A = this chain, B = another copy of it.
């Protein structure tokens, strides 16, 4: 019964699912992890089982791959890493009815950015961006303390900023020469001279800095631990007009999504 005043954070990714109770940005007690099943039915069962381990809780906050609708209640966009039927689950409605608690669902990159802004290395930076440099490139953007959503919730597709007109590399999205085709972890291994990777990373960072003038850009994901921050900083400075944005590694890594979703739930679910 000790969890009933806490928010249960859940992260649903392409390879694993994580569960932990969170209070003011800190994980309380055990963390539960499952490999992500490959059918939507099995994912739902796994979510229900995961929740039962912590129930009763005050609320449920989910960080998920894919696009989430503006009311933070439903996954609306497809994602290559999760089975197609996952979108049809209506997770918010299902979990609310089953567990009788408020449920919030947020895109995992947005949740991670929110975690860094509220309790991580961008703490109190009202304007900050978290970039995940992994297999692809993901991003979450905080503008004046709020997640940038766009018209339908599909904003912050920063991995698909065009990086050259040359039509040299196909991106996983089907288009040519997106940032992630040049600056992701996957791309890193294509350069003989690894400095070139920092050059491409700096192009996207400079675009974001010139557009948002944020206080900080937080780098997350596997590549954030390898990146040469001094070199990046120098290359970015050569491409920005005015901003003095700090480029920093993430505080939260694997648990950024569930911590961010839980922090967001504490603010957004107040009206329940």
| A interface list, Cβ under 8 A from B | 67, 77, 126-127, 141, 143-144, 146, 148-158, 160-166, 173, 175-176, 199-200, 203, 206-208, 210-215, 238-243, 245
Contacts and interface: CB of A to CB of B under 8 A. Distances in A.
A163 B176 CA distance: 14
Contact of A158 (B127, B152, B160, B211): B211
A214 B161 contact: no
Nearest to A150: B213
B127 A239 contact: no
Identical subunits present: 2
A124 to B, nearest CB: 12
Contacts of A238: 175-176
Among A157, A200, A238, A243, the most chain B Cβ lie within 10 Å of the Cβ of A157
A157 to B, nearest CB: 4
A155 to B, nearest CB: 4
Contacts of A213: 149-155, 157
A76 to B, nearest CB: 10
Contact of A161 (B141, B154, B207): B207
Contacts of A207: 161-162, 207
Given A175-B239, A206-B162, A239-B175, A155 B212 contact: yes
Contact of A163 (B151, B153, B165): B165
B160 A241 contact: yes
Nearest to A243: B154
A214 B162 contact: no
A220 B160 CA distance: 25
A154 B212 CA distance: 8
A208 B160 CA distance: 10
A241 B160 CA distance: 7
A203 to B, nearest CB: 4
B154 A143 contact: no
A210 B166 CA distance: 19
B206 A239 contact: no
A126 B149 CA distance: 11
